Structure 1
Amino acid sequence: MRIDLLTREYPPEVYGGAGVHAAELTRALRRLAEVRVRCLGAPRGEDQTHAYQPPTDLDGANAALRFLGADLRIAADCAGADVVHSHTWYANAAGHLAGLLHGVPHVMTLHSLEPLRPWKAEQLGGGYALSSWMERSAAIAADALIAVSGAMREDVLTAYPEIDPERVHVIHNGIDTEVFQADARTDALVRFGIDPELPIVLFVGRVTRQKGLPHLLRAAFELRPEAQLVLCCGRPDSPAIAAEVAGLVAELTRARRGVVRVDGMLDGRSLRQLLTHATVFVCPSVYEPMGIVNLEAMACGTAVVATAVGGIPEVVEDGGTGLLVGFRPGPDGTGEPADPGQLAAGLAEAVNRLLDDRDLAELFGAAGRRRAVERFSWTGVAERTLRVYEKLVG
């Protein structure tokens, strides 16, 4: 069987969980079948991996329209595939068109949903309407959809009630626990100016409304004064969220010591060291279909504090591998909390509890490692995904 896997992100151009998923699923699937990757961006040197750039005659056009231009070329090149499998709206149109053009099944993995990310309009302008149309059209027509959590499946069926529930399969994200495991070295901490002897509260994520960083920054005013707050920030979605976060970081730095900001994607070794030495990893997301980064922290033996949104409760066991903080969305449809002060207070309380009780934090970390090993292997993800393909192609 030949599978053409379509994705925007693929190593080395990975900036989020969907890119990690695409890379790890490909690696595991290639042990079972022929997989050709069709991604966006610069040329890759990997065999059977093809990269595409938007057409130059669309230079200067809205970003969503430019991605659609690249999708047309991807769809044309999928001739000969038995199945096409797309990831995120950037590649969903390519999968939809390839399925129609070549008469093969189209499988979509849904890592998030455009209707539940209204802040994307801040980033894409009118392109948000286009990205929403691409996702919706592809999802309604897809032969099978894979949701990365049970909560995500419910969101899919709510957002797109036209979809037959029988077509939506739950296959959780995975984690490579041989790669993500404790690393006692401290050279990365020293390089970033982090004291390994002091407690560390760690955030890793993009600067986007979805990841909830402003809520953690407001909570940080109430964290134990001896704790260091380490913020590993990916690129901002928009100037507005970049400015808001920069302002909060500056205000927090004036109020307390030990605030360390690291901008840009971390290399694997640095990420593992930071996760290993963190006393608490914090995921303050307002929307998270699953959250691979929580699995990465757990696999490194670190306790997690996270908001109880989306698929996070399917990963982080409240009172077992970490602490979950309640989240109630506001009525305005923005995805922001109804009471931001309450959320910040909840995050501060949970983090402080683990800062005050290091034994409990260590117990949670050890349990998180066991859960990651036992429940979330990429081999299992690939095998379950292959069964979806096989059912479609007979």
Structure 2
Amino acid sequence: MRVGLLSREYPPDVYGGAGVHVEFLARELACLVDLEVHCWGEGRSAGVVRHRPWTALDTANDALRTFSVDLSIAAALAGRELVHSHTWYANLAGHLGKLLYGVPHVVTAHSLEPLRPWKAEQLGGGYALSGWSERTAIEAADAVIAVSGAMREDILGCYPALDPARVHVVHNGIDTALYRPDPGTDVLTRNGLDPHRPYVLFVGRITRQKGVPRLLRAVRDIDPATQVVLCAGAPDTPEIDREFRDLFGELSRVRAGVHWIPRMLPRADVVQLLTHAAVFVCPSVYEPLGIVNLEAMACGTPVVASRVGGIPEVVEDGRTGLLVDMDDDFETSLARALDRVLGDPATARRMGEAGRERAVREFGWDAVARRTVALYEEVVKQA
């Protein structure tokens, strides 16, 4: 089967969970189908075609620039028997490919524009365009993949015109050979951390979705012996960037051992930071699954996360970590949950071991790819 896999992110330009998903899914799919990846970027390599926004739109709204990439991708899909798009950045390309070439279109929904109203802060009027492209593609898709059961409910809630029989759950995966405990500590010392002091770790983008401002307020009052490490970059807007910097400055003035790593680290560095964290924290206000929690679990680290979206399908409350309700007392409850894990190293170690076991047992990418190809075959047969 000749498949076109469509995504904004693809190595080396991966900055979020959807990009990680596409990277590893593509690696496994290439062993099962004739795969061609279409993504943003420059140039062409074996099995990968990169597309850039039209230069005439360099100063235009980002949504229009995205649509120009989608047109370029759609024009290049001739000969594909099925197209599979990821995120609104590529959904329109998949939809146009379906119409242009008469082939099935599969959509994987990693998040939903109606549930991310803060994106209007980043895209302005382009937010209406991103929502339109997502709705158009999802409602017309031959199949929609939800990365969690909670995500499936969200999809059907946002798009009630969609036939529930066309929405399938295929969980995100994790490469447990790459994400595994690393005993080294050179990355810690290179980034100014004290390897003899416990630390709470956050890894993610500076966005409203990831709940970073709430985290910065919550950790003000956790055990003062604990370091706070923020691998946080790619702010959505200048406004959220300024808010983050202000809160980081305030936090640094009231407690010692606060570290901000604003650059994107190599995967091996992130693995080592995950391995040695006393606890990984995920304070997201919206998370269809939360692949970063799987990464932490695969490295043997307990997770404290908000009880939203698909996170409870990954983090087993009381077994691989602790879940915190997203309510008015969230920041206080988050701080107390972090202190519970920090204050009980034996339980934290057991949670970390259970998390690694769960990641290996249930979230391998080879299984994700096989389930995805089985869906492709079903869709093509019905077309």
CA distance in 2, matches of 1:40, 1:362: 41
The equivalent of 2:235 in structure 1 is: 236
- The count of residues paired between Structure 1 and Structure 2 equals 381
Give the match's secondary structure for 1:166: helix
RMSD: 0.7
The equivalent of 1:387 in structure 2 is: 374
CA distance in 1, matches of 2:177, 2:282: 23
CA distance in 1, matches of 2:212, 2:249: 14
Structure 1, residues 283-308: CA drift from partner, whole Å, max 9, x if none?
A: 00000000000000000000000000
CA distance in 1, matches of 2:43, 2:273: 31
The alpha carbon displacement at 1:82 in A equals 0.8
Task: Confirm whether residue 361 of structure 1 aligns to residue 348 of structure 2.
Answer: yes
The equivalent of 2:178 in structure 1 is: 179
Task: Confirm whether residue 41 of structure 1 aligns to residue 28 of structure 2.
Answer: no
The equivalent of 1:347 in structure 2 is: 334
The equivalent of 1:222 in structure 2 is: 221
Give the match's secondary structure for 1:237: coil
The equivalent of 1:23 in structure 2 is: 23
CA distance in 1, matches of 2:258, 2:361: 35
**Structure 2 gaps, min length 5:** none
Amino acid at match of 1:247: D
The alpha carbon displacement at 1:43 in A equals 2.7
Contact 1:15/1:234 (<8 A) preserved: no
Amino acid at match of 1:55: W
Which runs of structure 2 are paired with 1:193-342 in the superposition (5 Å)? 193-328=192-327, 339=328, 342=329
Where does structure 1 differ by over 4 angstroms across 4 or more consecutive aligned residues? none
The equivalent of 1:371 in structure 2 is: 358
Name the % identity: 61
CA distance in 2, matches of 1:84, 1:26: 13
The equivalent of 2:8 in structure 1 is: 8
CA distance in 1, matches of 2:57, 2:258: 42
Change in 2 beyond 3 A, CA 1:137/1:228: same
CA distance in 1, matches of 2:44, 2:110: 23
Amino acid at match of 2:148: S
CA distance in 1, matches of 2:89, 2:375: 22
Give the match's secondary structure for 1:201: strand
The equivalent of 1:332 in structure 2 is: none
CA distance in 2, matches of 1:69, 1:205: 28
The equivalent of 2:129 in structure 1 is: 130
CA distance in 1, matches of 2:14, 2:81: 26
Amino acid at match of 2:5: L
Contact 1:114/1:131 (<8 A) preserved: yes
The alpha carbon displacement at 1:44 in A equals 5.1
Give the match's secondary structure for 1:36: strand
Structure 1, residues 224-281: CA drift from partner, whole Å, max 9, x if none?
A: 0000000000210001111111111100110000000000211011101100000000
CA distance in 2, matches of 1:258, 1:236: 23
The equivalent of 1:95 in structure 2 is: 94
**Structure 1 gaps, min length 5:** 329-338
The alpha carbon displacement at 1:200 in A equals 0.7
- TM-score, structure 2 as length reference: 0.99
The alpha carbon displacement at 1:204 in A equals 0.3
